[in-house]
Amino acid sequence: MDGLQTKTPAKPGLIYPFDEQVPEQGETTEIIPGLYWVRMRLPFALEWINLWLIDDGERGWTIVDTGMPMPETKEAWRAIFDKYLGGRPVWRVIVTHMHPDHVGNAGWLTRKFPGAELWMSQLEYISCRMLVADTGREAPEAGTDFYVAAGWNEAQVENYRSRFGRFGQGVSQMPDAYRRLVDGETIRLGGRNWKVVMGNGHSPEHACLFCESENVMISGDQLLPRISSNVSVHPTEPKANPLRDWLQSCRKLKTAVGDDVLVLPAHNTPFRGAHKRLDHLIRGHDVGLKRLSQRLAEGPRRVVDTFPAIFGRKIGDESLSLATGEAIAHLNYLIAEGKAVVERDGDGVDWYRAV
């Protein structure tokens, strides 16, 4: 899932070489020989996800990311299979990370093509299975305490309780076995070598795939051209520092690929200018952290009081969960850097102040 827009510097000039070749749902656009761009609709404000279909020769086809398990998405996949596969099966499904728009159809696809393998990083597979296991459970006390501490009112906390455990509704039944993707390993896709480059912060162990010979990278949500990926703290690990992980991953990607790499992102359109975009994302978070520090210097603040310092628009209830997770990520980063402290009052609400 993707994040809220943060107040950032002016966006850099990126190059979008395929903006005139955007495929319709159920169709494909060839990016390099044997690698095809597929788009599927999403039931969110972010309307589309990019998926990738790769010709692996006699063995069959590889799919990278899968879309949500909606009837229209499955219908579009069937149309692609009938039109483009040439009678050869999908033998492998690679998932960059465990968010439902990426992993949602993985189980359905591996069952549709018996023997097809699921390839994911270990933390993404385990995290997905863990969240699916919450389906039907009541919201845990740790979760309600987390949002009370952030400053949510009772109606907002009750909405969390009513919605808890819905992750599994966006994921078809996961395979019981998978093949683990490991940072730095080389895998074969479409007759070419692709290096696995892991990123963190947006999700636990996000896999990007880089082909040096073609200078192409499938980036998932780890690098997007027009929107910033959500970097959040969740109730399961309230003291986490995902923003530190995210910024480190941005710097890692700069060393892994060149600025002129063709980036195939999960959202928006393929682009060049990776280093410019990564620098822009880093600067944007630096600006947010400085504004947040200034807000805390004015006096103690709850999480919900910090939104104006971080986001460029008013936060409504539809965005409250994302905004809360991102704000806590920034606050935990400042605490880890020794620039802020937090104290909980008698009502269970956390108050943050600058050091």
Per-residue pLDDT at 45: 84
Per-residue pLDDT at 8: 43
Q: How far apart are CA 292 and CA 342, in angstroms?
A: 14
DSSP structural state of residue 47: -
Do 301 and 22 meet the contact criterion of CB atoms below 8 Å apart? no
First to last CA, the chain: 33
Which helix (H) or strand (E) covers residue 51, if one does?
strand 48-55
Q: How far apart are CA 122 and CA 235, in angstroms?
A: 21
The amino acid present at 14, given as its one-letter code, is L
Per-residue pLDDT at 284: 93
For 248, what's the count of Cα atoms within 13 Å in the CB-facing half-sphere? 10
Task: Please list the ranges in the chain whose pLDDT falls under 50.
Answer: 1-8
Do 349 and 328 meet the contact criterion of CB atoms below 8 Å apart? no
Alpha carbon separation from 81 to 37, 75, 149 (Å, rounded): 14, 10, 49
Q: What is the DSSP string of 261-282?
A: -EEEESSS--BB-HHHHHHHHH
Q: How far apart are CA 143 and CA 325, in angstroms?
A: 12
Match 């959040």 to its residue by tokens: 232
Helix residue ranges, H only, the chain? 71-84, 100-103, 106-112, 122-133, 141-149, 154-163, 242-256, 274-297, 307-310, 320-336
Do 95 and 106 meet the contact criterion of CB atoms below 8 Å apart? yes
CA 177-66-52 angle, to 5 degrees, is 115
Q: What is the DSSP string of 318-345?
A: GGHHHHHHHHHHHHHHHHHTTSEEEEE-
pLDDT digits (tens, 9 = 90+) for 59-101: 999 999 999 999 999 999 999 999 999 999 999 999 999 999 9
Q: How far apart are CA 210 and CA 7, in angstroms?
A: 30
Percent of the chain predicted with pLDDT > 90: 92
Per-residue pLDDT at 61: 98
pLDDT digits (tens, 9 = 90+) for 212-269: 999 999 999 999 999 999 999 999 999 999 999 999 999 999 999 999 999 999 999 9
* pTM for the structure as a whole: 0.94
Mean pLDDT of the residues in the chain: 95
